[in-house]
Amino acid sequence: MVATSGAQAPQTTAGPAGRVLGVDIGGSGIKGAPVDLERGDLAEERHKVLTPQPATPEAVAECVAEVAGHFGWTGPVGVTFPGVVTGGITRTAANVDPGWIGRDTGSLLADRLGLPVTVLNDADAAGVAEMAFGAGRGRNGTVIMLTLGTGIGSAVFTGGQLVPNTELGHLELDGHDAETRAASRAKEDEELSWADWARRLERYLTHVEMLFSPDLFIIGGGVSRKAEKYLPLIEGVRAEMVPAELRNNAGIVGAAMTAAGSRTEQG
């Protein structure tokens, strides 16, 4: 049910008119849309529903089915998950219900939708899209995509190839799980100014830089739309820092790309 994708857009005609449905499961919302695989962009306006609380596998599966049903979808589906995914099995669940841990999510969703489903880590999906169609195009060094939202997701690429399931948001930093201090939710929950939050983000980025020495940081998630408010305040990072070009749609696009690649490999 799952395929590990590289950074290049798959060449496939899977789905109606060369499209594949991408669905991005987040801690607060579940959003999806058909993706035009040639353009690497949404083919229709995305549809979003609130993530159920508690975000149990069965409840979330119903929401994914609602998104697919909104488009009357009958082809392959790519789905992101905010945690480690190996072979269609979800291994961690930091920002959703712990019932996901050890669950065969690929089979759960395929059975509920009655469609072929590919599942992968949410930040990995976003990174795949950015490397093919966004800020990472043509970059062959070490690139780290970070998605700042409810938590911090990460996607690491070297030589254009993805190292899956890195989950760098859960690095311990100053005695804390890093995402609890530097995710955009921390800014909102603690009502931090852009300057105060930028200092926290800089502390996190310098730690990641010390470990991996990337050439480029791509900053994604919804907060990437306001990059001008905080990226210029970060001065202690040597690597180039740029906002994601696909913004908050990167996960949807990358999920669809990966599902298309999976179908191509199988067929």
Angle at 36 between CA 33 and CA 41, to 5 degrees: 70
- Cα angle for residues 69, 151, 209 (degrees, 5° grid): 130
Verify that 164 and 218 share a domain, yes or no.
yes
The answer on pLDDT for 6 being more than 60 is no
Q: Are residues 113 and 202 located together in one domain of the fold?
A: no
Verify that 236 and 178 share a domain, yes or no.
yes
Nearest one of 141, 164, 118, 150 to 218, comparing CA atoms: 141
**One domain for residues 211 and 253:** no
Is the domain of 239 the same as that of 253? no
Is residue 131 a part of any domain in this protein? no
How high is the pLDDT of residue 8?
A: 36
Q: Where does the pLDDT of residue 27 fall: very low under 50, low under 70, confident under 90, or very high at 90 and above? A: confident
pLDDT (tens digit per residue) in 186-213: 999 999 999 999 999 999 999 999 999 9
Average pLDDT over residues 40-56: 96
Q: Is 8 within the bounds of a domain?
A: no
Structure tokens at 240: 């180039």
Residue 132 belongs to a domain: no
Residue scoring higher pLDDT (158 or 15): 158
228, part of any domain: yes
What tokens were used for 29?
């919302």
| Residue 266 clears pLDDT 90, i.e. is over it | no
157 and 107 within one domain = no
Specify the 3-state DSSP secondary structure of 267: coil
**What are the distances in angstroms from CA 206 to CA 95, 135, 199?**
24, 20, 11
Quickly state the pLDDT bin for 102 (edges 50, 70, 90): very high
Kindly report, residue by residue over 59-76, the tens digit of the pLDDT. Answer: 999 999 999 999 999 999
Q: Are residues 242 and 254 both part of a single domain?
A: no
Residues 260, 227 share a domain: no
Give mean pLDDT, residues 52-61. Answer: 96
Residue 195 falls inside a structural domain: yes
Same domain? For 185 and 107 the reply is no
Q: How far apart (Å, rounded) are the C-alpha atoms in residues 84 and 64?
A: 19
Dihedral sign from CA coordinates of 28, 29, 30, 32: negative
Q: What is the pLDDT confidence band of residue 18, given thresholds at 50, 70 and 90?
A: confident
For tokens 């269609």, name the residue: 88
What is the predicted pLDDT for the residue at 5? 35
pLDDT at 16: 64
- Please check whether residue 130 is in contact with residue 220, taking contact to mean a CB–CB distance below 8 angstroms: yes
Give a yes or no: residue 69 inside a domain. yes
Domain co-membership, 63 together with 153? no
Number of domains in the chain: 2
* Same domain assignment for residues 81 and 62: yes
The SS3 call for residue 246 is coil
In a domain, 10, yes or no: no
What is the overall mean pLDDT for the chain?
A: 92
Q: Which secondary structure element, helix H or strand E, spans residue 119, and what is its range?
A: strand 117-121
The answer to whether residue 4 sits within a structural domain is: no
Distance from C-alpha of 211 to C-alpha of 171, rounded to nearest angstrom = 11
Q: Are residues 152 and 191 in the same domain?
A: yes
Which amino acid type is present at position 116? P
The mean pLDDT of 4-24, rounded to a whole number, is 60
What global pTM score does this model have?
Answer: 0.90
Q: What is the pLDDT of residue 4?
A: 36
What is the predicted pLDDT for the residue at 200? 97
Residue 10 is predicted with a pLDDT of 35
Give every CB contact of residue 3 below 8 A, 6+ residues apart in sequence. Answer: 118, 120, 258, 259, 261, 262, 265
State the residue range of the domain holding 59. Answer: 16-124+249-266
Sole residue written with tokens 């849309």: 33
Q: List the CATH number of the domain containing 216.
A: 3.30.420.40
